[in-house]
Structure 1
Amino acid sequence: MPSIRDHLVTLSDTVGALRVLQSSGALDFRRPREVAAAVKRNATIGAPAAIVRHGAEKHPDAPAITDEHGTISFAELDRNSNAVANELIAAGLSTGDVVGILARDHRGLVTVLSAAGRAGLRLAMLNTGFGATQLGEVVERENIAAVLYDEEFTDLIDTLPAELPRYLTWVDGDRAVPEGVKTLQAIVADGNSSSPPDPKQWAGLVILTSGTTGLPKGARRGKVSPFTTALLLDRIPFPQQGTMVIVSPIFHSTGFALWGVGTALGNHTVVMRRFDAEKTLAALSEHRAEMLVAVPTMLHRMIALGPEVFAKYDLSALKVIVIAGSALSPTLSEAVQDAFGDVLYNLYGSTEVAVASVAQPHELRLAPGTVGRAPVSSHLRLYDENDRPISGSNVRGRLFVRNGAPFEGYTDGRTKQVIDGYMSTGDMARFDEHGLMFIEGRDDDMIVSGGENVYPLEVENLLAEHPEVADVAVVGVEDDEFGTRLRAFIVRAPDAEPQVDEIKHHVRSHLARYKVPRDVVFVEDLPRNPTGKLVRRLLPTGPLD
């Protein structure tokens, strides 16, 4: 049973979150009828549909989204959403049915995000990096009743049961549209764009985890709490009725959440189906964008373009770069702020715990690579291997989070470990003397080599500082003498030829001898998923030739 202290903390969190929502302009409590209407919409058609409808009412002619086909307004996006919702209802899909979407970032994806809620359907957001086996298993596990997909994924979709209804969300024109398959373009051009009757309750979303250790799990979201919005707005200064460029995938939790909050504030979102470093700079310049949403690997490729390329583009409007999805090395943290100015915000969270912490630019200057501090209503705690709380500076522990956006469990019925109301993130962390948090790697990444505990991320961050290293991954492999040893996979910097002994000496000069990789393997690139996370299980851990 919650204690008096728990109730006081909840009250304090609520007041703090409401204050953030009011001051940011997300909600105006001086207009209680509008707030009540927003709450009702969120409960019936869901946040994605509600924010699109709100935008159409408040600024119908303002640009909502720009992609390779051009720009559409909030009013157009609202009508298109209605047309797609009416089509899905007419096709016989029932309230609560699950539909899946396999699409890159473009107008079709956000149209379906909005349309599914209006039709009373639960939307499963599928990963564009899926193989046929993964896709088939997820479609079966989530009981997906229809699938919407981009043309480039046709061969992948063709591995699914033939009787599964399907719709095309983006057509490149490289092949004929299959018989009986409708395109979103045709639906929005000829369909019924009147608003369908609101369902009694939002059917929710399924956002998949990254799947870096196996089959992605489905994380249910049957409601989107206002606390989720406050978690982002508390430490990140979003523009209002400005422009955002989002190159982080919207099918994943970070891109989705930032698109949602930004759109709720009336912002114009610029997206592209495939990331290109220089085209991203060009988009920031052309649209005078105030915010960029990306993952660290994307920023690494942008920095690699060099000062001469940067000088071609006017980036003076850019005030905020938000990154998440994978670890930010101290080296990249400094390089980004040197190139773009002190505009970097490092967001740490997960599909399960939502937003846990955010590092602001001044904190990243003070402690490069930090994930910062907890926003309003987020609480962080470290536990040891025996589930006992840990305190003190620079003491490593298992990170647990409690906040106002509770996890509803995986779609297969499992959930995360919870201690005293705090949920496990699966990461190791520490707090420095300034109270800033650092992620030390996954709790299951730790290896024991010769009786010593080693966390590969520490070695990775050090090697990332080497001027001849473009990308790096460090993993543990079996060793007859030490039990486990470190193996480093190195992507060389352009025109560089680092040697094995040089790499080992760099680590030996800064860290304990037992942290020096016994193996150094040079590779062309590292396996990363669409959100930029390293897929360690795809790195070879067997004997080297």
Structure 2
Amino acid sequence: MSISLLLEMASSADPDRTAVVSDDVRLSTGELSALADGAAGVVAASGAQHVAYVGTGGAVLPLLLFSSARAAVPFTPLNYRLSPDGLRALLDRLPDPLVVVDEEYRDAVGGGYRTLGSDELLEAARGAEPAAEFADPDAVAVVLFTSGTTSKPKAVELTHNNLTSYVTGTVEFASADPGDAALICVPPYHIAGVGAALSNLYAGRKMVYLRHFDAAEWVRLVGIENVTSATVVPTMLDRIVTVLDADKVTLPSLRTLAYGGSKVALPLVRKALSLLPQVGFVNAYGLTETSSTIAVLTPDDHRTALAATDETVARRLGSVGRPVPGIEVEIRAEDGTVLGAGQTGELFVRGEQVSGKYTDIGSVLDEHGWFPTKDVAYLDDEGYLFIGGRSDDTIIRGGENIAPAEIEDVLVEHPQVRDCAVVGAEDPQWGQIIVAVVVPRGGTEPDAEDLRSHVRAQLRGSRTPDRVVFRDELPTNATGKVLRRELVNELSAQSPTASIKEPT
């Protein structure tokens, strides 16, 4: 099934329903479909083998998704925050692309490419000879570059079948109420941005785009557009909670708030739940290679865990929930043995929405179709999935493997800690030492030894941070993932303030 069929179904069912709101642009499903046909004609006439987009999204994102599909060429939204050299390095990896670019990023793209401004595309689409064909379901629909925070970005290939399997497996067609609206502020080059455009259109929700995130503007848009659902990354949730707490706003229209992209500290989740008790919170976990969400902690799961006196149930507030329909999961040891409940290993996933294929590399699925996520994880007795971070982040101190997330979960519960990240720094004696990078809560000055004692009281002595350093904020990418490599490089350039001894 081609993703273009999703738009055809939506426009046939209700062509007058508002599909997209972005700044001054408002498009019905019928208007979006007509523009996609015209833009597909522009793409087809260009002879391009690929469509790339450099910009902040809004209405242009769903338009390019569907017009590229109707022209039967792959589509790649690129990170507009990259340097000109970084952008061009990625563009040069795409075969003969048509580059659609927001005007403010045209200089960054530079010359040497077939380039069309976003406004020019909209104008051309209105007068172009339409083109519309259904691509082969197994053909590549979208190529997304991984964040590449520790290595060269990989180009993930997602087929039409991968993407439509995700949408039809997790969303019921036209299931939204007539007044439902989704506020989208995740970046267009992230799988969450692609997934939001496809799934909300299919469900029948008005999509309200906030192209440049600002917490106060986010709150304002929820009010004026009667937004009923939204998806945010951790840094966004933190800033929204700050505004809600300061202004005492209640957001009466909002029914569902999903968060994901990286781990969210439990104190922040509890604070958000207390400020918005009428809202159903959803923790969504997925990867680019899995076409978005593969596990969900539902609103009922949140409420049950928050109210639980049973420690096992309460702990599930820190999980990512259970797999969505159509997804299988396994936890494996290093030797490939499938592990049981409570045992930590690497997460493997399988399902129609899982790609696991990269340009120039090929598929990394095993012979039975399982994808290695590189995430450390475990399942509890009821099938709730707990993610412990990337296997690459594991700290090896004196031959002992230590998961940073285990220490972070304890540290962030300290009343003077707003946020934290635990990383391994090179050490001649231990190989690596444990360094806790802490963002203090406003108006506090936590003591490093007090924080070490806080961890030591709850974990084994070998998990006690060897060093504690303080920062005003943690470096993150646009989806809220902490740039651990940046912290490690920063720490490597510093001299330890004291010799490291065996933790006690």
Matched, 1:254 2:254: no
Shift of the 76–114 alpha-carbon distance from structure 1 to 2, 3 Å rule, reads same
Distance between the aligned counterparts of 1:316 and 1:238, measured in 2? Answer: 21
Deviations 1:209-266 (A, max 9, x none): 23232222111122235431244338x9973442111112232112211321110122
Shift of the 467–500 alpha-carbon distance from structure 1 to 2, 3 Å rule, reads same
Deviations 1:68-123 (A, max 9, x none): 22422222222222332222333333xxx012111213112221112112222211
Q: Which amino acid aligns with 2:269?
A: S
Matched, 1:372 2:310: no
Choose between structure 1 and 2 for higher RCO, CA contacts under 8 A separated by at least 6 residues: 1
Task: Give the corresponding residue for 1:498.
Answer: 446
Query: Which ranges in structure 1 are unaligned for 5 or more consecutive residues?
Result: 1-38, 171-182
- Tell me, what secondary structure is at the counterpart of 1:264? helix
Task: Give the corresponding residue for 2:32.
Answer: 77
Deviations 1:37-73 (A, max 9, x none): xx4xx2xxxx1x3333333332222211111224222
- Tell me, what secondary structure is at the counterpart of 1:141? coil
Task: Give the corresponding residue for 1:413.
Answer: 361
Q: Which amino acid aligns with 2:100?
A: L
Distance between the aligned counterparts of 1:519 and 1:144, measured in 2? Answer: 50
Q: Contact between 1:219 and 1:410, CA under 8 Å: does it hold in 2?
A: yes
Distance between the aligned counterparts of 1:428 and 1:408, measured in 2? Answer: 18
Distance between the aligned counterparts of 2:169 and 2:446, measured in 1? Answer: 43
**1:442-481 matches, cutoff 5 A:** 442-481=390-429
Distance between the aligned counterparts of 1:90 and 1:213, measured in 2? Answer: 39
Task: Give the corresponding residue for 1:208.
Answer: 145
Task: Give the corresponding residue for 2:481.
Answer: 533
Q: Which amino acid aligns with 2:176?
A: P
Matched, 1:544 2:494: yes
- RMSD over aligned CA atoms reads 2.4
Cα drift, residue 542 of structure 1: 0.5
Distance between the aligned counterparts of 1:433 and 1:414, measured in 2? Answer: 35
Matched, 1:381 2:330: yes
Task: Give the corresponding residue for 1:35.
Answer: none
Distance between the aligned counterparts of 2:133 and 2:298, measured in 1? Answer: 40
Distance between the aligned counterparts of 1:419 and 1:335, measured in 2? Answer: 45
- Tell me, what secondary structure is at the counterpart of 1:389? coil
Task: Give the corresponding residue for 1:482.
Answer: 430
Q: Contact between 1:353 and 1:425, CA under 8 Å: does it hold in 2?
A: no
Matched, 1:165 2:114: yes
Q: For this pair of structures, how many residues does the alignment match?
A: 476
Q: Which amino acid aligns with 1:520?
A: V
Deviations 1:456-504 (A, max 9, x none): 1122222222333232221111112222111122223323322322332
Matched, 1:195 2:130: yes
Distance between the aligned counterparts of 2:320 and 2:430, measured in 1? Answer: 33
Cα drift, residue 184 of structure 1: 2.8
Determine which of 221, 240, 243 is the counterpart of 1:305. Answer: 243
Matched, 1:358 2:293: no
Distance between the aligned counterparts of 1:267 and 1:148, measured in 2? Answer: 26
Distance between the aligned counterparts of 2:259 and 2:185, measured in 1? Answer: 10
- Tell me, what secondary structure is at the counterpart of 1:484? strand
Q: Contact between 2:354 and 2:371, CA under 8 Å: does it hold in 1?
A: no
Question: Quick one: percent identity of the two aligned structures?
Answer: 27
TM-score normalised per structure 2: 0.88
TM-score normalised per structure 1: 0.82
Distance between the aligned counterparts of 2:472 and 2:116, measured in 1? Answer: 37
Cα drift, residue 396 of structure 1: 0.8
Q: Which amino acid aligns with 1:375?
A: V
Determine which of 282, 286, 289 is the counterpart of 1:349. Answer: 286
- Tell me, what secondary structure is at the counterpart of 1:212? coil
